[in-house]
Amino acid sequence: MSATGIRLHAPAPGWSLDADVVVVGSGVAGLTAALRCAAAGLRTVVVTKARLDDGSTRWAQGGIAAAIGEGDTPAQHLDDTLVAGAGLCDEEAVRTLVTEGPDAVRRLIETGAHFDTGPGGAIELTREGGHHRRRIAHAGGDATGAEISRALVEAVRARGIPTVENALVLDLLTDADGRTAGVSLHVMGEGQHDGVGAVHAPAVVLATGGMGQVFSATTNPSVSTGDGVALALRAGAEVSDLEFVQFHPTVLFLGADAEGQQPLVSEAVRGEGAHLVDADGVRFMVGQHELAELAPRDIVAKGITRRMQERGTEHMYLDARHFGATMWENRFPTILAACRAHGIDPVTEPIPVAPAAHYASGGVRTDPHGRTTVPGLYACGEVACTGVHGANRLASNSLLEGLVYAERIAADIAARHA
């Protein structure tokens, strides 16, 4: 223990910053928490493992789910989420998500995010697996995450919130009473913040994303290595539902030996009418579930795996040739470019797909305000287990969860700081 009464679980820092709150991570959850904390007058520092725009958020293709369409209601969104979660969701956590979600999306738009709109100016909505209504807002066709990341990063920079990039967080710092006192970290850069250092703060928000790189094939970027869960465990925080790792059904198949991040083929492609077929062109999901290709992700992933085993093949196909070139170019330009970069043209041929690790539904256990079991330590986004997702996340609920619970965390920290 140092002379200041702070326990150091890493080498003594060579430099330090003081703040009211330190946010670890720069996806939708982390940056939203940082912006809301700063707006409440809290001295806020953002620490991120790579660059400010390098989290999982910018890879999100499909969109963000919220009951903002005509005839849709939070109650219907609630029902779809509970069904997808296979009976293991925390219903009150889901109710919070779907009830507060629409206004959270509107505040995101006020922050600067631009979603695709129709001729009348209303936000265009699409469907994805497990949803019985069109309630997915998207941007740039299939580049929703990139647009949200752009807007939040610009807002953070415009507000002048201090950031420390290329920083690996080593451990949580705690005081003599076991309360959060900041984080120790190692910055892999140059200049003022280089080498081992610390950010001292009575509140720490973990928003470090997932752990997809634990698996050989994943949709997650290289920074998703489970750092946040590891830090929380070392600090004595409780975790929950770590076994519920969601596999996305339709990931571009690059070969049996392909490792690391694989290109995602958004569920929105199926939402717009693409079909899953085997090598003979048979739609094998028909009859397996009332929603066929738009069944919840775990059901579709199992259906694909089962058919692969039956046929002795390494992948199935997603057929969207009937979209035509114009729709592919306008609605799914990112996916079209990724497929063509690997020698596949979805306009003229089916896309080879197979399931790959995609999302950690479990994580650091939190209460309705994002508090963990360690005083002063909060968690939101994919690193957290709020109880919203249960055994299987409903498509496009992740960005919404990041927004809603990040705002709740900021409100709680501000109230405690007052």
Q: How far apart are CA 28 and CA 34, in angstroms?
A: 10
Q: How far apart are CA 74 and CA 375, in angstroms?
A: 32
Distances (CA, A) of 299 to 39, 127, 129, 273: 42, 17, 10, 18
Tokens of 16: 């330090």
Q: How far apart are CA 309 and CA 297, in angstroms?
A: 18
Q: How far apart are CA 348 and CA 56, in angstroms?
A: 30
Return the half-sphere exposure (C-beta side, CA atoms, 13 A cut-off) of residue 266. Answer: 30
Q: 188 phi and psi, to 5 degrees?
A: -100, 65
Q: 298 phi and psi, to 5 degrees?
A: -65, -35
Unique residue bearing structure tokens 């539902």: 241
Check if the beta carbon of residue 46 is closer than 8 Å to that of residue 205: no
Give the number of other CB atoms < 10 A from CB of residue 292: 18
Looking at the annotation, which residues are catalytic? 297
Of the candidates 214, 316, 227, the one whose C-alpha atom is nearest the C-alpha of residue 274 is: 316
- In 91-244, where do the E strands start and end? 125-126, 136-137, 163-164, 167-174, 180-187, 195-200, 203-206, 217-218, 239-240
